Amino acid sequence: MAVRSASDLTVTLGTNGAQIAWSELPSVFKSARDLGVNGAVVGWCHPYDRLLANALSYCTWYPTPIFEQARGATFGETMERQIGCMAGTPYLRQRFASLCQASLVDSLSLVTNSVYGLILLHLAPPHRPGIYLPDRDRYTIFGMPKATGYFNNLALADRFLGQLRCAMETSGQWDKSWVIISADHSWRDSRLYDGVRDLRVPFLVKAPGAGQHLNFAPRMNTVLTHDLILAILQNQVTNQTSALHWLNGHQSDEPPVFIDHHD
């Protein structure tokens, strides 16, 4: 993968080695738009508004603080951030906490809006750095051990999900909506907890309406989420039982392996 422009990447396909622009590849949002479904994204790290501009009806994204420390939306904000950069790591934690809070506010406005039929919330918690104190329900700019920071931020992610669910229930969207919860990568510092590098990621699917939970035990690759979402939008999957049958029918004994170069 290489930078093609400020809004595009050159991707080398693993199937045949061909090079193609990222913007020319299919995406779940493009497919959803073809079905007449409005897509929306709130995210961080990746410039979603540039990469998916032709497939979204709404987008807000926040740059990773370590790469975007000083630039602000206004001259005054930029000046303030440039001064703040002199504080070093505590300032980066403060920027990360602000990112978390702002993205939650944006997310709450989206999940209660029935205009959007496909919403991606790429939220930062429980990603490092650790910035949350669960026992006090507040953010901190002071450092903490990586394992402690992960579990503290995991509690923050849980509280975010609780607020999103509460907002959806209040607006009447919870019982009408599918909700898929997963992660873009596993916990990279899992060895610090028990000495084992755990490559698993969470994968929870909530169907519309109330129902008893069902467990799916077989090994799977979450790349299938793309096809599952399209099956839901096309009414091929309509409830939790049919979702379970769909997953059972799309198992892979040898799922693709992603090499994490951060390890």
pLDDT tens for 124-145 read 999 999 999 999 999 999 999 9
List pLDDT tens digits, range 202-222: 999 999 986 778 888 888 888
Position 156 in a domain: yes
| Residue 261: pLDDT over 70 | no
| Residue 238: pLDDT over 90 | yes
The mean pLDDT value of the chain amounts to: 90
Position 128 in a domain: yes
| Residue 68: pLDDT over 80 | no
Residue 132 lies in domain = 27-177
Whole-model pTM: value is: 0.90
Question: Which distant-in-sequence residues (6+ apart) come within 8 Å of 46 by Cβ?
Answer: 61, 122
Q: Yes or no: say if 144 and 130 are a contact pair by the CB < 8 Å rule.
A: yes
Q: Tell me what pLDDT residue 217 has.
A: 86
The radius of gyration of the chain from alpha carbons, rounded to an integer in Å, stands at 20
Position 113 in a domain: yes
Give the whole-angstrom CA distance, residue 101 versus residue 107: 10
| Residue 255: pLDDT over 80 | no
What phi and psi values does residue 9 have, to the nearest 5 degrees? -130, 155
Position 217 in a domain: no
- Say if strands 39-44 and 58-62 run parallel, antiparallel, or are unpaired: parallel
Q: Greatest CA separation found in the chain? A: 56
Q: Tell me what pLDDT residue 24 has.
A: 86
Position 170 in a domain: yes
Q: Tell me what pLDDT residue 252 has.
A: 67
Give the whole-angstrom CA distance, residue 63 versus residue 186: 21
Position 135 in a domain: yes
- Interval 105-122 mean pLDDT: 97
Q: Yes or no: say if 222 and 201 are a contact pair by the CB < 8 Å rule.
A: yes
Question: Which distant-in-sequence residues (6+ apart) come within 8 Å of 257 by Cβ?
Answer: none
Position 220 in a domain: no
Position 233 in a domain: no
Q: Tell which phi-psi region holds residue 124, choosing left (phi > 0), alpha (psi between -120 and 50) or beta.
A: alpha
Q: Which of 31, 38, 89, 37 lies closest to 65, judged by CA?
A: 89
Q: Tell me what pLDDT residue 253 has.
A: 58
List pLDDT tens digits, range 159-205: 999 999 999 999 999 999 999 999 999 999 999 999 999 989 999 99
- Say if strands 138-139 and 132-133 run parallel, antiparallel, or are unpaired: antiparallel
Q: Which of 223, 221, 213, 199 lies closest to 244, judged by CA?
A: 213
| Residue 71: pLDDT over 80 | no
| Residue 260: pLDDT over 70 | no
Give one DSSP letter per residue of 64-81, joined into a string: -TTT-SS--SSHHHHHHH
Domain count, the chain: 1
Q: Tell me what pLDDT residue 180 has.
A: 97
2 DSSP β-pair partners: 10
Q: Who has greater pLDDT, 76 or 103?
A: 103
